[in-house]
Chain A
């Protein structure tokens, strides 16, 4: 059923193309001099059909569910929602929908059955209306374009204007995405802050987002102070960077300065594999190999390592970030002008001294940009910590302990059923907002540094 409108759309556009193309060809055969070639006449007509009709169809499909829902709810007797609180509306709606789908449980009340029947009829009316609209609008545009067809018509300019508009639209989607992210996060965060004060969220030292099952439950109000979650994130990030930064930098120095050309050509793609492995695989690797290994290693030293320690998650995350740092540092070192390298070598420094005393310091800004991007990756990385780090927020700096991170909390709070009205789910959006803001700042800073540095030598 959803395919049919698009099929009609394509048929309409093709029809417009063929008819106008042929009409223009016959004009030309009749001796007229065309401004644009027949292909452009066809293309213009086809685009003139497909763009507005596509827009209508997509809008219709997005909106008709909500509109029909409203119409159904307006007809439901008011007493159906009484006393049930917030979830009642969606519950009634779901019941009506499953009735309409033919899944009848027990003996439904007559008004429900009636609403379900109305839902079905509204749905079929909506799809018939949609198809009628598509056909009428397509035919109208088609006949308009056919009537306007003349040898002087500037069809090429017309279609180029439409294509230009389409390309601008494509670019604007990027902005729409950002607006979507910001507004979605902002909207839910404001709802969250209506239930939990901002100061408690930003400075509270307890993170216990359990919601009460019963109203009178003891100690069930939940605590939403994000400091322990933030600390946990920082611990994991620091561990990851402790692994990734030295390893990545030394690897880059070696590849750039000492490695044989053939070794470099083989080693770089192999390192890139580490960056291409999906993070869920790293997460499983952490629980399968690294966490048990660290645990038994710790036991040998007499240390008590938690089974889901920050160390295991951090080390694996660090491994993931190695190629990231290496490629940034490699690019930055390569971008240092050859004259600096030549100068250092001509003054008698060894290759190593040229690297540590001249090239590396000159490349520091670019490397910093890469490290900052790695930090933002580490903070935003989700699957490794969801699988390998803990769930309970502890206020600790000990990497051997189990800690939780912002992303872990977002995922655990939102897995399972989600109603958009309790602080537990809204808290996830508030955390998401903080995550977005922090990574955005770091990214902008990093991209600035990288760009500025590139310009300095270009």
Chain B
């Protein structure tokens, strides 16, 4: 019995082990956070690495002789625009034998498929160009674009690359002639979708998303605020308001694809609204955004101190005058913050839009909320599915554009909150 350690000895003996356990827990926590950050960093870096090249586009600048033999005014808009372009480009390639059909085809293939339509539009707009020589800057086709950006390595064996030695030699010749340039790719924002990566752009998707968001805002903002004010300020505590509250909480957690099913079956099937229309997309997104706005609005209304209400009521204002004249204006910054965050979520939402057909291949920008369109996230989905190499970098670039919009919206929300939020 005399050797029994005292409590303090016991504690000290175990302290090393306990401290070690604490360090382990701390280390695990820190590594968990590091893992999350590592994933975030990988996500951003991989997107930038694969997407940055799509923000520039390889162009070739050369003098085009609008050959009257190929292009006649009375046959417009038909004509041998591709032949005229190829013949003009071949003047920069003295070693190429243009009488050989296969070689001629290869020279044609350097240029983007859109080049001939660009020339056609120019000539149709001004037929006097026939017979003249004009300087033209047009995109090159995707394989050459990849070659210029380093996506195709000339060192790999010939049979494993998409361009053979002769094609690379032609392109090197064009570089040597100083005709190749790599300007900023405005086409990414100003072109609509296309089958050819070098011509595909986000214009249609941006306009489609803008329409859908506008519809979403117009529906969800008034409805959400109205419902929130009612539930927070006026609703009697009874089963009906309880039911509505449970309902809204559940709606906020319903999977987005279910909202797509609702839209497909009700808006398109029963009401007969057109498929692929931003109007339907916006209505669907509005139903999904409404719970977010309601919850944010209620939180903002709750944070207005009761003394404001009591003061207004005490001076003889009616309950509605109190809310609309005093509480709501004070809650507005919080409401707007919540609305912007809700709209940012709606902008990134994809699944319900797929179900209502906003993933169609549409080569022109929509002219209204009822015409077929894609949205930014569905366009990303379409491009991610396309096999061409050029679409991989465009997908990343489109994602960066989408993330740019989301960051802007969230920054705006944070700015609003910090600028106007009042602590009582």
| B-chain residues with CB within 8 Å of residue A278 when the two chains form the complex | 347-350, 377, 402, 406
A270 pairs with B37, CB closer than 8 A: yes
On whether A289 and B42 interact (CB within 8 A), knowing A170-B222, A428-B261, A432-B257, the answer reads yes
**A440's contact among B32, B40, B222, B254, by CB below 8 Å, is which?**
B254
Residues 1 to 33 of chain B near chain A (Cβ within 8 Å)? 11, 18-19, 21-22, 25-26, 28-33
Residues 275 to 291 of chain A near chain B (Cβ within 8 Å)? 276-285, 287-289
On whether A170 and B230 interact (CB within 8 A), knowing A69-B272, A285-B47, the answer reads yes
**B226's contact among A170, A435, A447, by CB below 8 Å, is which?**
A170
B399 pairs with A284, CB closer than 8 A: yes
Q: DSSP class of B's interface residues: helix, strand, loop or mixed?
A: helix
Which of A173, A271, A353, A356 has its CB near the most chain B CB atoms (within 10 A)?
A: A173
On whether A174 and B261 interact (CB within 8 A), knowing A258-B29, A277-B43, A387-B381, the answer reads no
| B-chain residues with CB within 8 Å of residue A322 when the two chains form the complex | 36
Chain B min CB distance to A102 (Å): 16
Q: How many residues of A contact B (CB 8 A)?
A: 92
Residues 235 to 261 of chain B near chain A (Cβ within 8 Å)? 235, 241, 243-244, 247-251, 253-261
A410 pairs with B261, CB closer than 8 A: yes
A24-32, A105-113, A160-168 - the one binding chain B: A160-168
| B-chain residues with CB within 8 Å of residue A255 when the two chains form the complex | 29, 33
Binary flags per residue of A420-445, CB closer than 8 Å to B gives 1, else 0? 10000000110010011001100110
| A-chain residues with CB within 8 Å of residue B261 when the two chains form the complex | 181, 184-185, 410, 414, 428-429, 432
**A254's contact among B32, B50, B264, by CB below 8 Å, is which?**
B32
Which of A177, A181, A435 has its CB near the most chain B CB atoms (within 10 A)?
A: A177
B255 pairs with A382, CB closer than 8 A: yes
| B-chain residues with CB within 8 Å of residue A274 when the two chains form the complex | 36, 39-40
| A-chain residues with CB within 8 Å of residue B392 when the two chains form the complex | 288
| A-chain residues with CB within 8 Å of residue B230 when the two chains form the complex | 164, 167-168, 170-171
**A283's contact among B19, B271, B384, by CB below 8 Å, is which?**
B384
B234 pairs with A167, CB closer than 8 A: yes
Chain A min CB distance to B414 (Å): 9
| A-chain residues with CB within 8 Å of residue B253 when the two chains form the complex | 373, 376-377, 439, 443
Residue of A nearest to B349 (CB): A278
Compute how far the CA of A381 lies from the CA of B257 in the bound complex, rounded to whole angstroms.
Answer: 8
**Interface residue A297 (Cβ < 8 Å from any Cβ of B):** no
A415 pairs with B359, CB closer than 8 A: yes
A382 pairs with B256, CB closer than 8 A: yes
Compute how far the CA of A382 lies from the CA of B251 in the bound complex, rounded to whole angstroms.
Answer: 17
**B255's contact among A156, A276, A283, A435, by CB below 8 Å, is which?**
A435
| B-chain residues with CB within 8 Å of residue A69 when the two chains form the complex | 272
Residue of B nearest to A188 (CB): B265
**B294's contact among A163, A174, A250, A350, by CB below 8 Å, is which?**
A174
**A447's contact among B231, B249, B272, by CB below 8 Å, is which?**
B249
A258 pairs with B318, CB closer than 8 A: no
On whether A285 and B46 interact (CB within 8 A), knowing A167-B229, A251-B32, A352-B25, the answer reads yes
Chain A min CB distance to B357 (Å): 8
A439 pairs with B22, CB closer than 8 A: no
**Interface residue B403 (Cβ < 8 Å from any Cβ of A):** yes
Which of B11, B33, B262 has its CB near the most chain A CB atoms (within 10 A)?
A: B33
- 6 closest Cβ pairs, A-B complex: A254-B29, A380-B255, A278-B348, A170-B226, A352-B22, A167-B230
